[in-house]
Structure 1
Amino acid sequence: MDQPVVFINDSFVPAAAAALPVADLALQRGYGIFDFFKTVHNKPVFLDDHLRRFYQSADQMRLPVRQSPAALKAVIHELIQRNNIPDAGIRISCTGGITGDGYSITSPNLVITQQPLSPLAADAFEKGLTLLSYNHQRQLPEIKTIDYLMAIWLQPLVQQQQADDLLYFRHGLVTECPRANIFIVTEDDTVVTPGRNILKGITRKHVLQLAQDLYKVAERDVTLDELRTAKEVFICSTTKYILPVLQLDGAPVGNGRPGAATAKLNEVLRAYVHSLCH
């Protein structure tokens, strides 16, 4: 493959030639949605789930998608075939469209891109993550919008504190990381994750389903204090699978090492994805 192609509205075009008008509402006001999934050996992972969420986000943001789910799925499979990037990330974006007044939604622009996805470092799980808590609630949290303003604005603080990512909380209740869902494991080995004011991730959905066969599971409010004293804490996402959180705000979480439930769920999730793609 010399140069990847992208899909814009109705056409496949070389990535270097892909462009949207500067009057698009995504550029003018940051109005748009997206979804992101990965391919393993050229097979999309959890594609139906991601498409379902994409159309739900579009509907909630009043963005009519011209293509049907079946048509969009066909486009995605053709993109995978054309690019032949076996392990990749595919992003589907839908913008507010070209606006004359800089404020009104018009005909959305659809953009689908594909880029190689680097594997996690071999020691990523053992190394774990350090999170920095921050008092913030995302707008329209149940919708996967393109608004990552706070997460990006806070990157200098994250780096200064030598953290890997942020953990949002509001009124003492934990919600999510900017690009991942958060879980705790209690002393009685109940796997718990916040159930409201969050984006319900696709990997989160499958972790909950897989965990039900091994542990007690709950979706409920989780306080920041409860998370600080939890037996185990972990995050999950499309690109990271499951990674343990070993420090929060400079203090160790649990015993400071990856926990047994976290390790087991990561193993089960990876085996499940492997079974779907091989």
Structure 2
Amino acid sequence: MSRTVYVNGEYLPEEEARVSVFDRGFLFADGVYEVTSVLDGRLIDFPGHAERLSRSLRELEMESPVTDEQLLDIHRELVRVNGIEEGMVYLQVTRGVADRDFAWGAEGEPTIVLFTQSKPGLADNPKAREGMKVISIADRRWGRRDIKTVQLLYPSMAKMAARKAGADDAWMVEDGFVTEGTSNNAYIVTGGRIVTRHLGEEILHGITRAAVLRVARDLQMEVEERPFTLEEARAADEAFVTSASTFVMPVVEIDGASVGEGRPGPVAARLREVYLDEMRAAAI
């Protein structure tokens, strides 16, 4: 059965969905995106994703083609018509269509596309029990990583490098410090503290990150927001990542060396449990 997707105001079978070859998203990666998870047929942390989308658009001097209320209605309709119980809704907004020119200003309305991905078992991922393996790689992305743009070539290259090395993901390193994973925020647990890089232009301001740190503080866990090195990570008691699609995922190996006891630790497990419970209760 074909998926129904949303393109510029229309719900269409995926085979009929089209975007212009002159769209700046295609020609310049001039666009932003969001991914919202779906559990039990409901949207997880939608307000956070909508707020970050607005911020990304502002940073790139782009207008949103829909209101937050309209965006919520579109998400819900796609979840409904595609019968998504567990999965994701992908959203992309580009600057729109114009003849090819590096400078913008001649384009028309922004382009907006949404589609769903069904992911049965999303919340019961075996990796949460096994743990992930990561490699380290130099961070060679552009400087404004706080804007969630569709410029994802280097993270894709890093993900492929991890796969070729027999790992699940890569942690990117800049000036000796871990920035983040290819599509997630990175953490270590050391000396009883959760350590993760502070917000800035160097990393994405993760929606799941914000929720998990709130959960950690509610559980009376100590959180320290600062850069950490690979050496600290390898010597840590635990490590984990957070993202909209993996929630809280333990990391048990970095560059072939075990983290802690080489298996998921209690901090990551507890954060995942409470986060999922709270997000399911608050889903819309």
Question: TM-score interval w.r.t. the shorter chain?
Answer: over 0.9
1:143 aligns with: 147
Equivalent residue runs for 1:21-36 within 5 Å: 21-36=20-35
Residue 184 (structure 2) aligns with = 180
Q: Indicate the larger mover: 229-238 or 148-157.
A: 148-157
> How much does 1:138 deviate?
2.8
- 5 Å-filtered alignment, 1:1-278, equals 2-105=1-104, 106=107, 107-120=109-122, 123-139=126-142, 140-187=144-191, 189-195=192-198, 196=200, 197-214=202-219, 215-277=221-283
Cα displacement string for residues 7-59 of structure 1 (whole angstroms, at most 9, x for unaligned residues): 11122111111010111111112221100011112211100110010111111
2-structure distance, mates of 1:169, 1:23? 35
Q: Which runs of 5+ in 1 are unaligned?
A: none
TM-superposed deviation, 1:277: 4.4
Which stretch of the first structure deviates more once superposed, 150-159 or 197-206?
150-159
What's the offset of the Cα at 1:224?
2.2
Matches of 1:198 and 1:242, distance apart in 2:
17
| Cα drift, residue 85 of structure 1 | 1.7
Equivalent-residue separation in structure 2 for 1:271 and 1:12 (angstroms): 32
Measure how far apart 1:137 and its partner are.
Answer: 4.5
- 8 Å contact from structure 2 (residues 133, 169) kept in 1: yes
Q: For the structure 1 residues 67 and 277, does the alpha-carbon distance in structure 2 shift closer, same or farther, using more than 3 Å as the test?
A: closer
- Answer whether contact 2:22 2:100 (CA < 8 A) is retained: no
1:41 maps to amino acid: D
Q: Distance in 2 between matches of 1:123 and 1:110?
A: 34
- Match for 1:89: what amino acid? M
Whether contact under 8 Å (2:85, 2:120) holds in the other structure is: no
Alignment deviations for residues 191-227 of structure 1 (CA, whole Å, 9 cap, x no partner): 1111131101111111000000221112112222211
Deviations 1:131-187 (A, max 9, x none): 111111432110111111112224443223111111011001111001111111112
TM-score (norm 2): 0.91
| Contact residue 159 and residue 182 of structure 2 kept, 8 A | no
Corresponding residue pairs, total: 276
RMSD between superposed Cα atoms in Å: 1.7
The percent identity for this pair of structures is: 28
Any stretches of 5+ residues in structure 2 without a counterpart?
none
Please say if residues 203 and 238 of structure 1, whose CA atoms lie closer than 8 Å, have aligned partners that are also in contact.
yes
SS at match of 1:103: coil
